[in-house]
Structure 1
Amino acid sequence: MHEHEWRRLIVSEMHLRRWPRLHAPMQVVQQVRLVDDADRDAEWDAWRAMPPGGDVRHAYRRHVSGTLAGGIAFTWERHSEASTQTLFVPPGSEAALEDAIRWMESLPGRTVRATRITLVPDDAAAQAVLPGMRLEGEEIVSCHVAGPMRIWSDFRIADDGYARGYGRMLIAANGLDGGDLTRAVQRLQELGTYRNLALLGLPVARAAWPRLDRAEEDLRRLGENLTRSDIRDDDLMAELSALSLAIAAVASATDYRMSATAAYALLVEERLEDLAPRAIPGFLSLAEFTQRRFLPAVRTCAAFSRRERQVASRAGQFTALLRARIETRIENQNGALLASLDRSAQHQLRLQHLVEGLSVVGISYYAVALVGHMLEGAESVAHFDARLVVGLLTPLVIVLTWTSLRRARRKLGVAEA
């Protein structure tokens, strides 16, 4: 079989992100880390060099799964810009959990999300565990998702006790088990992961917003200067070029993050639709929490992207206007120069004709003088009036001289007056 070089990669991609089957009660601990390209090899080496008691069952460049000491299962998944590490802690393995978390936290990358999920069989078991989780009572989000499953969380980072440095979530399976429970919890975690990755664009947009304010103010000032004739075009073009470069720098620094935010926001909407949250009276639902806090942040990023494009478009319009102004001035200068050259040529032509007229007079004068001398010599022999003959010949000599010069000018291609 002559396989396409990407066939096995594509098929393997469809089988990635597999979780072991979940059964309540248990804990699920997950970290999402942004990993630079330079650290990818070190991350891969860390997963291949498991701590004592660890065992790798499946290892691909984008997915690793196995077990750690104490019977704790784990998965590692590589995304486009992040990596997800998940621990699955069955009852009785809490003693080994601390070492597993410490090893997981030593991996390369910067954590953007960390959660500890407590999974219990039903609402009654959840009510027994809930007080010890120290959730912020006024900010608890609780609703049914994926059918009967119920969640509790304040979506805050714990600073003490139960899950220091982690977000806390309590899940009551309420009859879900096996594959259904696994898929529901996985979608819930993916929702939180994509939400945090999408929200990475908000600080970027906020930080770059003042730069767009300054760019718009500079554009307003440049627009006023474009109407003034006392400012040199070169100075305006230099300012516009510098401003366009500044706007391009903003776009270069933010476009990837804004595009990623838009893409992750779509995934959040898909996961939220898959989970189909159902509100519980007295509590904020997952859908309401997302709409109230997540959507405004995404819309801020979208507004920033639109504004950046508008500012760049206005800068391009001003540049086009200034270039049109410069080209118009150059054309006017060229027209004035051509008119000046035409006038100069006319003056030269007139001067040339004047010189030619004087030349006709001069040549005719010398020609008549020569003829007069010859006639005076012949006068004593032929007995005629030389002066009378010279007077009669003078107009003829002038006409012949003028005709000869005119023919010579035509042969040389000299224009007529």
Structure 2
Amino acid sequence: MTTGVLIGDGDVRLSPHPLRAAVLGEVHARPFTALQVPSRIVHFAFDTAGARGPADRANLIAFCESRGLQPPAPGEKHHRAPFGTTVLRWEQHSEFTTYTWEIPADPAGAPFYPDASSISSPMRLLPQPGPLFVAVDLHVVKDDPPRTSPERLFDRASLAVAENSDGQALYATDFQPGPSGFVRVLVIDRGMPPERAGALVQRVLEIETYRTLALLGLPEAQRLTPSIATSERRLAEVTQEMRGAGDLASNHKLLEELTALAAEVEAGAAASQYRFGASRAYEEIMTGRLATLGERKVGGLPTWSSFLARRMKPAMRTCVTTEARQSDLSLKLARAANLLRTRVDVELEQQNQDLLKSMNARTRLQLRLQTTVEGLSTAAITYYVVGLFGYLVKGLHDSGRLPVDPSIATAAFVPVAAFSIWWTVRSIRKKHIADEE
């Protein structure tokens, strides 16, 4: 594809956006191909998520090269490989890959004869890409009543029949797998050109493929429903217990249980989020394909749209409801946990306040004891200082150097010593308090 745009005389090229070629090519990635009538189409869809996708591409490349066919280009998601009278259409999607084998049919042959298992042998030429999702046996035949009557070929209880918008084709199926596991689809040609026949067949195959893929969310919803119901019931019980829980230990226990419930619900939601989102997307694609066909009712039989709406809508609503219940339950658990966490925080703050009050009381008691000890220490130090002073005065008196009576001098010194020691101790205490501040 041209990477730039020439203007003027062709000597100026405009630089394109890096994604321009990919965007333009996507419109033509899966073109409709002409289909001759009668034809037999055997269609498979396989789960190729993860590492299966690259392995499947490598197997297809090896298959084409071994038979001298053009392999798919790197990054190509659609490839058509004719060999002999059979044509293979290969399409790779995000989580599945389809193999569609176009096989010429005998004009005089009865519809769906021989059985699809006997004409699907080309699929055995390649390794199975992954688990099988879809297997369709589609037969395009000329209008030949009553040999091609849908009521004769399908189960009337689940038969869906419709004409396309201009009435040039009728398509019918009962959406039931036959003995060999294939869902049979009959397309009756009433004058379609080959290109129109190819487009109709491709849309019909896509409807069946996306119908099956959309319903993959239902088993996931059914798997999650019991655990969601259990979590909802336990949440109601925990919130009821929260009303009577008053001590910190009980609230801690309830908070741990709520946290465990929230983790379980979030794990289920994370595991199913992709599946439910994919189911919604596949249903929208299927609905779009049905709208493109422009269905017209045939007799008193239901069209494909009405049949699938009646049978699929309950399943899809189950998926939507389950996803909504998960989301709602997650929000309720978060609110309950926040409420309980707030209560625990308040209780912890109350305990901290009580502890601080106790510490303040203990500090005041220690201060009083310290003051008492300081008083006693002042008296004790004064006693020892006065005693030392008495020895000094008595010695001076005995030597004749002090004419005053030692007892009188000692008594006079007592208040001086007591005041001096008290002042010194008080000054030291004030200095320590000032340093701490």
Which category describes the TM-score, using the shorter chain as reference length? 0.7 to 0.9
User: How many Å separate the matches in 2 of 1:364 and 1:45?
Assistant: 104
The structure 2 residue matched to 1:110, chosen from 117, 128, 131, is: 131
Cα drift, residue 236 of structure 1: 4.1
One-letter amino acid of the counterpart of residue 354, structure 1: T
- Map of 2:38 onto structure 1: 25
The share of aligned pairs that are identical, in percent, is 27
Match of residue 136, structure 1, among 149, 155, 162: 155
In structure 1, stretches of 5+ residues that fail to align are none
Q: CA deviation at 1:306?
A: 1.2
TM superposition score normalised by structure 2:
0.79
Tell me which residue corresponds to 2:322: 304
Distance 1:156 1:99, change over 3 A: closer
Q: Distance in 1 between matches of 2:273 and 2:312?
A: 20
Describe the shift of the 1:101–1:24 C-alpha distance in structure 2 as closer, same or farther (beyond 3 A).
same
Query: d(CA) in 1 for partners of 2:365 and 2:43?
Result: 92
The 1:74/1:44 distance shift into structure 2, 3 A limit, reads same
Amino acid at match of 2:431: K
Distance in structure 1 (CA, Å) of the matches to 2:57 and 2:238: 53
SS in 2 for 1:73: strand
Q: CA deviation at 1:175?
A: 3.5
Contact 1:126 1:170 (8 Å CA) reproduced: no
Give SS of 1:40's match: helix
On the 8 A contact 1:72/1:97 being kept in 2, the answer is no
**Matches of 1:272 and 1:216 in 2, distance apart?**
38
For residue 187 of structure 2, give the secondary structure of its aligned residue in structure 1: strand
Match of 1:248 in 2: 266
The correspondence for 1:347, drawn from 362, 365, 371, is 365
**Aligned 1:163-182 pairs, distance under 5 A:** 164-182=180-198
User: Counterpart amino acid of 2:432?
Assistant: L
* Cross-structure match for 1:323: 341
In the superposition, relative to structure 1, how do residues 53 and 178 fare at CA in structure 2: closer, same or farther (>3 Å)? farther
Alignment of 1:264-279 (within 5 A): 264-279=282-297
> Which of 388, 402, 409 does residue 422 from structure 2 map onto?
402
CA positional deviation for 1:258: 0.9
Question: 2:302 pairs with 284, 299, 309, which one?
Answer: 284
* 2: CA distance, partners of 1:330 / 1:408: 39
Partners in 2 of 1:311 and 1:298 — Cα distance?
A: 20
Contact 1:126–1:172 (8 Å) recurs in 2: no
Partner Cα distance (1:110, 1:53) in 2: 25
1:130 Cα offset (Å) = 2.2
Equivalent in the alignment of 1:13 = 26
TM-score (norm 1): 0.83
Among candidates 129, 145, 165, match of residue 164 of structure 2: 145
Distance in 1 separating the partners of 2:401 and 2:56: 131
CA RMSD of aligned residues (A): 3.6
Matched, 1:362 2:380: yes
User: Given the superposition, is the C-alpha separation of residues 381 and 190 from structure 1 closer, same or farther in structure 2, using an over 3 Å criterion?
Assistant: closer
**Aligned residue type for 1:210:** P
Paired residue type of 2:318: T
Is 1:187 aligned to 2:203, yes or no? yes
Superposition map of 1:189-204 within 5 A: 189-204=205-220
Contact 1:144 1:280 in 2 (8 A): yes
| TM-superposition CA deviations, 1:80-108 (whole Å, max 9, x none) | 11111222233439889866512225632
Query: Where do residues 19-58 of structure 1 align in structure 2 (5 Å cutoff)?
Result: 19-50=32-63, 56=69
After TM superposition, the structure 1 = structure 2 runs for residues 89-104 of structure 1, keeping only pairs within 5 Å, are: 89-92=103-106, 100-104=119-123
Amino acid at match of 1:311: L
Superposition deviation, residue 350 in structure 1: 0.8
CA offsets per residue over residues 173-216 of structure 1, 9 Å max, x none?
Answer: 33432333332332222122111111011111112211212222
**Shift of residue 395, structure 1, vs aligned partner:** 4.6
Query: In 2, distance between residues paired with 1:213 and 1:371?
Result: 92
Unaligned runs of 5+ in 2: 4-14
Distance in 2 (alpha carbons) for counterparts of 1:54 and 1:383: 140
Counterpart of 2:8 in structure 1 is: none
Structure 1 residue 212 and structure 2 residue 228: aligned? yes
* Shift in alpha-carbon separation, 1:132–1:311, aligned structure 2, 3 A: closer
